Each structure stands twice: as structure tokens, then as C-alpha cells.
Amino acid sequence: MNAEIICIGTELLLGQTVDINSAYLARELADLGINLFHKSTVGDNLGRIVPLLRQAWNRSDLVILSGGLGPTQDDLTREAVAELLGEPLEFREEAWEEIVTYFKKIGRPLPESNRRQAMFPASARVLPNRLGTAPGLLVESAGKYLFAFPGVPRELIGLWEEQARPFLKRILTETGHPVLTSKMVRMIGIGESAMEERVMDLIRHQTNPTIALYVGKGDVLLRITARGDSEADNLRRIDALYQQIRERLGEYIYGTDEETLEEVVGRQLLARGWTLATAESCTGGLIGHRLTLVPGSSSYYLGGVISYSNQLKTQLLQVPEAILREHGAVSEATAKAMAEGVRRLTGADVGIGVTGIAGPGGGTETKPVGLVYYSVALPERTVVEHRVFPYNREGNKEAAAQAVLGLLWKTLR
Amino acid sequence: MNAEIICIGTELLLGQTVDINSAYLARELADLGINLFHKSTVGDNLGRIVPLLRQAWNRSDLVILSGGLGPTQDDLTREAVAELLGEPLEFREEAWEEIVTYFKKIGRPLPESNRRQAMFPASARVLPNRLGTAPGLLVESAGKYLFAFPGVPRELIGLWEEQARPFLKRILTETGHPVLTSKMVRMIGIGESAMEERVMDLIRHQTNPTIALYVGKGDVLLRITARGDSEADNLRRIDALYQQIRERLGEYIYGTDEETLEEVVGRQLLARGWTLATAESCTGGLIGHRLTLVPGSSSYYLGGVISYSNQLKTQLLQVPEAILREHGAVSEATAKAMAEGVRRLTGADVGIGVTGIAGPGGGTETKPVGLVYYSVALPERTVVEHRVFPYNREGNKEAAAQAVLGLLWKTLR
């Protein structure tokens, strides 16, 4: 099954709205094993939408439209589909009732202009939208399918998950399409080429499952994808390959699929019944922010100190003046003293310390921009590492936060 | 001048890479007053790239390609352009020298496969790329223009800013195209509809400049756009309208164009010679992170405390136990005590305190998820505000950070 996505909306062509929908749909289609060959964006102009739609309908088995289902004169998706099919738009009582119900639920008056949203081409099916005013639309014709979703991401995702995805899964099964299953393996502490070397033979010799490598922000990712008759079958194949990969790269694998480092270290801390405190200089609070993105993090994360000034390093964290004087604020000794200091100050089981030069200014010959020292203090020992990151200020902060969480994960294993 | 963007890369169709380039280029084209009518994405497949390219070259005056200029066999943009033009690819010494120089600069060996990157269609111009290995490409033919840029955003932006934008500006001027100039006005503390009401008559009556409204994360934006013979002319018109808008909305305007709240409060603090410290609970360090995104922030931001646990609220910030017991950790009294506490602890001139329920759990009937209290303590007084945000955990944290910085800005005015 070959698919095509068309996003409709002038705001997307002005760069005012970033298109989240098409990347979401692309991932979902890949997960279903449906090939996506074209993705395009067009403004709110019937003369440009219709030819594009006709081209898509001719060359693809599945056409997905996003946007243009609102109540205003600019919303032209319904008209475009009607023109494509050569059918008139007709008022659909069932769609109108959905809209009336939605407005009642949110307690707002229903403008007359919303009647437009109940107009559908004769052969189209109405897809009720629980999350907004714009019902979606489905056309089936000669083994081809056309979906139209509202452009609001929450509504599009709702309609996709509740209606389109199950529908397509059923069609794929009925037509004997192979099932696609994949697993993302997340690693930190190894470079892309070093990882590639260790699994090159697997990549070369595997055809099902296949392996693909990606570079994320500070970590490297490996995706295993299997194609087969059933999900259970695929999972068995994926697991066999995953075990081989673990034998070679296990020490770097911190998680799979959508897991984040902050979730993984959260679970490690919970398992030990340990608490954590942070002392951040160059990251300025970003590590605390990431740790607290995890619901329930308050049961292990006490908080900490953003010691952006030397004053707070000495006053709160008790970093000795002598260390700052002799080694400087960006040094192994300072990172270590910060981690140990915040551990002592808060009584946490584990302390983190990070200090560096985010840039663009502040670098020297011996301490360049991007240099970061970071430390994890445990009850029995303290570890320190350093890296030099090549990014801009924001990128260096992000990479530093990821490296610190990576060291914490490694230390708690 | 009608433009069209084509992004080339299978990874974009798998949803693994989010396309940042096309939104950037769309904004830039809008700024130049160039109409963008189509945007599309296609995989690394010559049979699909060439027809799309031919269609674009037929219907548009300016075609911009992103991606497919790398050294691997999957990088097919050069081949596609050659096929479009009916020209052979030839080896360009000047492009090769650029590549050799770049590899010398980064101190890495130059793989033989990179010779592909020096192959160009006969009539194409080579655009040297300071920031990477892939030179860009420009074709001019019968008043039409085709640019090809590497897909790495940093490199694309570099080539656009240094070469393509000045080139297009010159073409637009030479062909008597009107100049487009715009100014973004950034506001906080007022809702979208309240803002719209105050300027509705201006929006209705203005044709040049025009006004458009947007809602950002926690703030509202207004864009003034003028069209005229010269930038100076446009700026005069924009300024006249901006003065009218300031009379009506001045109290909410914190910045213009790309200014962020953290930059604006940074300048306010510098102007007064004041220092700042933060006490964050629900935002978990996000405010510190944003403040320290500004280069030079170490001259006014001392740092602070992430008091995620009640223990750190009492121990470090001296929030009285009685307040936590009687009012709770999420309360006006606690926010105030946190702001005053961190000010006292660090000796900063200004203290910030924020406490709330980010969700998804932890809400009650009287204190729902999304409730945030935040406070700014100044030498002479302390102010407190509260809001209830409707977002998910991450969104509530972001909205809270923006609201706190907004209150700080208002207080320092």
C-alpha cells in the first residue's frame, strides 16, 4: 500500500505554524508498514488543492489530508474532495448532530457558519470527532482510501488512533499485508561509528529483521524492524536479534522505544530507595527540569542548587575557595566538590555536580568553549568525567545534561 | 515571484527526522515577499524526485531543494538536477578544493566517496559551504532560479543567509519587486481576544502596513508588515502604526522581533545593577535554564534553589513549617516565602519563587492540576500572582516559567 500526505493551510506556507502532523503520520504509517512516497503542503486555494489531490489520488492507494476542515470560507478540503469525486456536497444530519453535541459539551453558542462542517461529498463517510468541531472524512473507492482530518494535532491524532489506524490495520490484514513491528534501542557512551563497527556484520547479513542506526542528541539509536505474518512472530524475531545486540553493546543500552534517560534513572533510584540532589552550574537548571518532567519524580528527587555564581558554590555547596582559586570553577575538582557538596547539604543518597563553559564567550586555550566536567557522588565513591562538546550555547547545555544523566545511569547500574 | 520548496530524504518520510528547514525557508520567503505555493517531500529515489522537480521547475519561478547533497549513493539531488537540465555531471575543481579545505580544517581524513560532492551539472554554479562538506548549487535559466542546499539545518541556514538571501534580494530589487518589511510585537499578560478588541479598528482599516495576530506559548504576538519601495519607507510606516499600538497595548509589550523574556529581564537587571536568584518547585529548574540561555547572564543571575521537596523549602529557603502545614506547599504564602527566602539566602536584589501542580496527578477539588503560584521579591516589596494552566505536565511547566518571567518583567519596569 503506497500512501501520500497532503497538508492544507496557507499558515504552513508562511512558516507560522510548524507542521507536526505529517511527521506523526509518517511514523505511524512506517509502523504499519505502509510506504509513504510523497508529502506535500498547499495553501487554502481550491485551484491549487484540486490538481494536487487528483495527482495523489491517481498515483497512491492511500491519501491522507490534514487541515482545511474548519468552519470558515478558507477551509476548502470538503469542496476539494467533492470536486475530485465529481459529487455535490450535501448536508449530513449525523455530522451536524455531532457538532451540536460538541458545542453543548463545551457550553459555547454554535455559530451558523459551522453548518459548513456538516457538508460532505455524497459518497464520503463521516468520522465523528470527540475532541473538536470538525468531523473527519473517509472515502473508499476501488481499493483506494482517502482520509481527511482536521489540522489541530490533538484532533488529528484522536481521529487517527480511534478510527483510521484500526481501519487500516484491518484492511492490511484482510489483504494479506505483512505486519511490521519495530523496537528502538537507545544507547549512550559510545560513538556512532564505534557502534556501527560492532554490529556491521549483523546489519549486512540481516534482511528480516533489519537494523538501522541513528544519531540522537548525545545518544545513538538502533532500530530493529521485523516484517511477518503476526506481531507475535515479529516480536520473537526481534527479541532473538536484540539478544545478540545486547551481548555486543549491552553496556551502552539504557533503554528501548520511547524511554528517556530521566525515566530510566528515576526507576533505578526507586529500585534502590535512593534520593537524588543536583548541583548545576553551566546547565543552569536543565537537569532538574528534565528530572521533574517525569511524573512521580518527587519521590526520589529532592531538588538542589543552581550554583551559577562562585558565591553559591562556596556558600551553599561548600566548594573550598582554594579549589576555585587553584583549579578554577570549571575543573574536575570543582565538579567533584559540587556533587559531594549537594549530597551533604541535602542529605540525598546521590549528588550530581556539573560545571562547564557553554559559550559563546569564556573559552581559553586550555579550557575551550564546550568543556564540561560532571560528577556523581554516591555513598561510597565519587566519579568524574569530562567532555568537550562542539555545539552552540543551547546545544552544549543539552549535550551536557544528557552526558550527566548518562553517567548517573552508568553509575547506578 | 512564486516559489516552491522540495525536501529530499527518505528519513523525512519515515518521520524520524522532523523537517525544520522548510518552516525556516517559508518564513524567510514570506519576509522577502516571495509567494510560496507548494512544499513537498520526496524520498531518495531518482524516479520520484525528477518528475516532482520537473513539475516544480515548470510552474514556479524559484525552486529550493533541501537535502540529498551528501557523499553517499543515496544522495541524488545532483543527479536529479542534471537530469532536469539534460546536462551531464562534471567534476568541479573549485568545489573539490572547498571540500579538501573543509576536511583539513576539521582535521579528518577525506574519504574518496566525497568526490561525488564535487560533481555538478554543467550550467550550475557552486555555492561554497563554510559549515560542512556539501557545497550548494544554483541554476539560473530564463528568469527562473533553482537552489539546492544540504539538509543539515545549520548548513542550509548558513548558505541561505550568506548567499541565497542577498542574491534574491538583489534580483527582487532589480525587477522592481516591492520590498516587504515586518516587525513582530511581543506581549504578555493579555489574552488574544482582549488584544484583538483593542486593535480591531486598526486591523480593519489598515491595508499597508497590515496587522496579524498570533498566540505563542503563554504570550500573544502581533506582526506588522509593510510593503513599499524601500526598507526605510516601510520602517517609517511600521513605526507610525507601532506607536498607535503602543498607546493602546504598551503595558503588555515586553519586546519586539526575536527578543525573549529572559533577554529582556536580563537587560532590566543589568540597567539597575541588580542580581537575581530563583527558588523553583514545580518548574524544577526550567526558569534557571532559560535565564542561563542568555550569554552573559552570569553577571546578574546568581543561581538559586530547586526546592522540589518540602525539606529544601524549609531547610534552605526557610519557608516556615507552619505555612506548609496551614496553607500547603502550593499556596500564595509558600510562593512568597520562597521568593523572599532565596533572596535572603543568596543576598540577591531580586528573588523569584514558584510552586504549583504540574500534573498529571496531585490535583484536588480546591487545588487543580495546572494551578501555579509565583512571586517576585524586591528590596521593598513582594508581589504574588497565580494562574491555572490547562496543559499537560510539560506544557504547564513551560507556561509557568513564562508567567514567572512575565511577572518579573512587569515588576522591574
Of A204-213, B102-111, B261-270, B370-379, the one with minimum mean pLDDT is B102-111
pLDDT for position A132: 84
Tell me the three cell numbers of residue A400. Answer: 551536557
A289 in contact with chain B, both atoms CB, cutoff 8 A = yes
Instruction: Judge whether residue A18 has pLDDT over 80.
Output: no
Of A87-101, A105-119, A258-272, B256-270, the one with minimum mean pLDDT is A105-119
- Most confident of the following: A101-110, B65-74, B259-268: B259-268
Contacts of B280 in chain A (CB under 8 A): 285, 288
Q: Which domain-ending residue is among B174, B195, B216?
A: B174
Looking at the structure, do residues B194 and B168 belong to the same domain, yes or no? no
Of A6-10, A81-85, B179-183, B290-294, the one with minimum mean pLDDT is B179-183
Looking at residue B389, its amino acid is F
Of residues B47 and B177, the one with the higher pLDDT is B47
Residues 7-36 of B with CB under 8 A from A: 12-16, 18-19, 22-30, 36
B193 in contact with chain A, both atoms CB, cutoff 8 A = no
pLDDT for position A109: 81
How far is residue B26 from each of residues A12, A132, B52, B175, B287, measured CA to CA in Å? 8, 28, 19, 21, 31
What average pLDDT does the segment A116-145 reach?
93
CB contact under 8 A, B297 and A308: yes
What average pLDDT does the segment B153-180 reach?
92
- The answer, yes or no, to whether the previous bond of B360 is cis (omega within 30 of 0) is yes
Of residues A17 and B28, the one with the higher pLDDT is B28
Instruction: Judge whether residue B217 has pLDDT over 70.
Output: no
Residue with cell 507610525: B240
pLDDT for position A333: 98
Are B245 and B185 in contact, with CB atoms under 8 Å apart?
yes
Here the CATH number for the domain that contains residue A247 is 3.30.70.2860
Q: Which domain-ending residue is among B256, B289, B310?
A: B256
Looking at the structure, do residues A382 and A408 belong to the same domain, yes or no? yes
Contacts of B43 in chain A (CB under 8 A): 37
Could you give phi then psi for residue B31, rounded to 5 degrees?
-60, -35
Contacts of B347 in chain A (CB under 8 A): 311
Instruction: Judge whether residue A147 has pLDDT over 80.
Output: yes
Which residue in chain B is spatially nearest to A395 when comparing CA positions?
B293
What average pLDDT does the segment A319-343 reach?
98
Are A98 and A68 in contact, with CB atoms under 8 Å apart?
no
What average pLDDT does the segment A178-201 reach?
86
Q: For chain A, first and last CA: distance in Å?
A: 44
Contacts of B312 in chain A (CB under 8 A): 302-304, 346
Model confidence pLDDT, tens digit, residues A36-55: 999 999 999 999 999 999 99
Q: What percent of chain A has pLDDT over 70?
A: 100
Looking at the structure, do residues A200 and A269 belong to the same domain, yes or no? no
pLDDT for position B80: 97
Are B88 and B121 in contact, with CB atoms under 8 Å apart?
yes
Model confidence pLDDT, tens digit, residues B318-352: 999 999 999 999 999 999 999 999 999 999 999 99
Looking at the structure, do residues B382 and B271 belong to the same domain, yes or no? yes
Instruction: Judge whether residue B65 has pLDDT over 90.
Output: yes
Of A172-176, A264-268, A346-350, the one with minimum mean pLDDT is A172-176
B220 in contact with chain A, both atoms CB, cutoff 8 A = no
Here the CATH number for the domain that contains residue A52 is 3.40.980.10
- Most confident of the following: A186-200, A212-226, B91-105: B91-105
CB contact under 8 A, B397 and A36: no
Contacts of B269 in chain A (CB under 8 A): none
Mean pLDDT over the full length of chain B: 93
Of A329-343, A383-397, B12-26, B49-63, the one with minimum mean pLDDT is B12-26
Looking at the structure, do residues B165 and B55 belong to the same domain, yes or no? yes
Of residues A390 and A25, the one with the higher pLDDT is A25
pLDDT for position B230: 85
Of A347-351, B27-31, B324-328, the one with minimum mean pLDDT is B27-31
Looking at the structure, do residues A265 and A252 belong to the same domain, yes or no? no
Mean pLDDT over the full length of chain A: 93
Looking at the structure, do residues B390 and B287 belong to the same domain, yes or no? yes
ipTM over 0.90: no
Instruction: Judge whether residue A216 has pLDDT over 70.
Output: no
CB contact under 8 A, B311 and A292: no
Q: How far is B381 from chain A (nearest CA, A)?
A: 24
Q: Which domain-ending residue is among B118, B147, B174?
A: B174
Looking at the structure, do residues B218 and B123 belong to the same domain, yes or no? no
A285 in contact with chain B, both atoms CB, cutoff 8 A = yes
Looking at the structure, do residues A14 and A149 belong to the same domain, yes or no? yes
CB nearest to A303's CB, from B27, B214, B305: B305
Could you give phi then psi for residue A306, rounded to 5 degrees?
-95, 100
Tell me the three cell numbers of residue B74. Answer: 543515496
Contacts of residue A365, Cβ cutoff 8 Å, sequence gap at least 6: none
Instruction: Judge whether residue A214 has pLDDT over 80.
Output: no
Tell me the three cell numbers of residue A156. Answer: 488529528
A41 in contact with chain B, both atoms CB, cutoff 8 A = yes
Instruction: Judge whether residue A217 has pLDDT over 70.
Output: no
pLDDT for position B216: 65
Of A160-169, B95-104, B252-261, the one with minimum mean pLDDT is B95-104
Looking at the structure, do residues A108 and A196 belong to the same domain, yes or no? no
In terms of residue numbers, what domain contains A57? Answer: 2-174
Looking at the structure, do residues A129 and A194 belong to the same domain, yes or no? no
Instruction: Judge whether residue A146 has pLDDT over 80.
Output: yes
Q: What angle do CA B132, A359, A362 make, to 5 degrees?
A: 125
- The total domain count for chain A is 3
Instruction: Judge whether residue B108 has pLDDT over 80.
Output: no
Model confidence pLDDT, tens digit, residues B220-258: 888 898 988 888 999 999 999 999 999 999 999 999 988
What average pLDDT does the segment A218-230 reach?
86
pLDDT for position A14: 83
Of A99-113, A165-179, A238-252, the one with minimum mean pLDDT is A99-113
Q: What angle do CA B375, B381, B387 make, to 5 degrees?
A: 25
CB nearest to A298's CB, from B286, B309, B315: B309
Looking at the structure, do residues A68 and A155 belong to the same domain, yes or no? yes
Q: What percent of chain A has pLDDT over 90?
A: 74
Looking at residue A96, its amino acid is W
CB contact under 8 A, B283 and A289: yes
Mutate which: A42, A309, A357, vs B, most B CBs within 10 A? A309
What average pLDDT does the segment A262-270 reach?
98
Contacts of A393 in chain B (CB under 8 A): 293, 295
Here the CATH number for the domain that contains residue A354 is 3.90.950.20
Contacts of A295 in chain B (CB under 8 A): 359-361, 393
Residue A374: strand pairing partners: A354, A385
